[in-house]
Structure 1
Amino acid sequence: MKHIIHMGSVCWRREGQDILKNICWDVTEGEQWAVLGLNGSGKTSILNIITGYNYPTSGSVNVLGTEFGKASIPEMRKKIGYVSNALDKFSGTLNRETVENIILSGRFSSFGIYQKIDENDEKKALDIMKGLRLEYLKGKTYQVLSQGEKRRALIGRAMMAEPELLILDEPCTGLDVLSREDVLNITKDIHAMNCHMLYVTHHIEEITDVISHVLLVKDGTIVAAGPKQDVLTSSLLSDTYKIPVKIHWENNRPWMSII
């Protein structure tokens, strides 16, 4: 089966400190993954290696057929969509743009439109807006949107490039319950596009039925990785979160309580 991500015995050191230790992880075609762990557990470091912004100190990495050290990382990045709170640093530019222009900019991996667009691009952007239930915001600038609308617009921007891999890094942070469920419903559309997804979160209740597999990370190591029903256990999550927890399932979604 085709590998979307392969990390073989990956270690990453910074300033003499081991940040990631012996990461062995494979994502294969058709799988949708959630990544769970405390702050500082290594989740962001793993994402930075997958996207080629950090290079492993040792070990092998292959993402979307690109073997690190033997192929172009910039070309690989064109196949990856990324939505993160880190994009807030571009808010000065984003605030002046309309929702449709923000989505269109994903076609060129830019913030703002600096290249010629055609009717097909415009139609595609509008179709994405409809799919994300954002068409009522046509002509509105980013600065007047709610937090949930902003998050959906950025997901639309990522989808514009038709990525093979979409990374959603804590996309529901700061959202109310209604806005959170709007974002979670979008993951079903992403799955329908045959796009592979990494969904990074602290909150296991955000793991909807679209997610098939889960990676648990603690202190730069992997606690467990595999089908979500096997990984999302009280024992493994207590280890990951360093506190006793109990898991129960409702409507095929997991929920956690402290014990």
Structure 2
Amino acid sequence: MAEASPLALRDARLFAFFHLVFTRFFRRHMGALRIPPWGMPREEAGRPLIVLANHPSWWDGVAFMLLAARLFPGRQVFIPMEAAALAKYRFMRRLGVFGIEPGPRGAVAFLRTAKEVLGARRTMLWMNAPGRFQDVRERPVAIAPGVTRLVEMAPEAVVLPLALDYVFWTERRPEMLAAFGEPIPAGDLLALDREAREARIGEALTATMDRLAEEAVLRDPSRFAIIAEGAQGMGGIYDLWRRAAAWARGRRFEPRHAHGTKSG
């Protein structure tokens, strides 16, 4: 029996609910989701969007959820996932996640679903371009088979490279960093053969990742806009003692370890 269309399964109210759930989870475990001003995306009104990200971490799915809901609130988001993994989290099909089976048949089914999704009004397809976990320092950046054919399914689409990174600076919790690269019209990629398309996508994603890495090395939160903010400080008895000490001195309690640093 054929699986129902992701368009029919997606539930906007459930997506909004899980955005709150993911946000709460993020706040417990991360310092902040930050984007440098140059890495903010431009909305492409009336055109389908294909977001192609690198794949450094399990956290990428949370990043997709937060970025999509906060930066593209008028878009329906769809995300492919390995079918075996999705089988363990079937509720995610109601959030716009759809399964990909391995092998040639799975690739054909994926492209057919992508065409259906991108043909609908105000939709976005988010996926990790490498198709596997890949360290942010590994080069070349992998491009999974089938990625170059996505533009054939949606000639009017725009491709957005997305760089993701997770770094520890001065606080206990890590920072989630993100940056969108220059948009690539699908028509520009369709003018190339598939090998050249792969190179073009890889170059765009690599350039965005390299630029984000340069920002990360500076360790300066003021160079980023905050998209979502997590808990600050160490927590527990340590912060309770610091809070009491600040109160005793008549000072405002600052939970951040590097309290002299601006936070965006």
Q: Which has the higher contact order (CA 8 A, sep 6+)?
A: 2
Q: Which has the higher strand share?
A: 1
TM class by shorter-chain length? Answer: under 0.3
TM-score normalised by L of structure 2: 0.21
TM-score normalised by L of structure 1: 0.21
Q: Which has the higher helix share?
A: 2
Larger Cα Rg: Structure 1 or Structure 2? Answer: 2
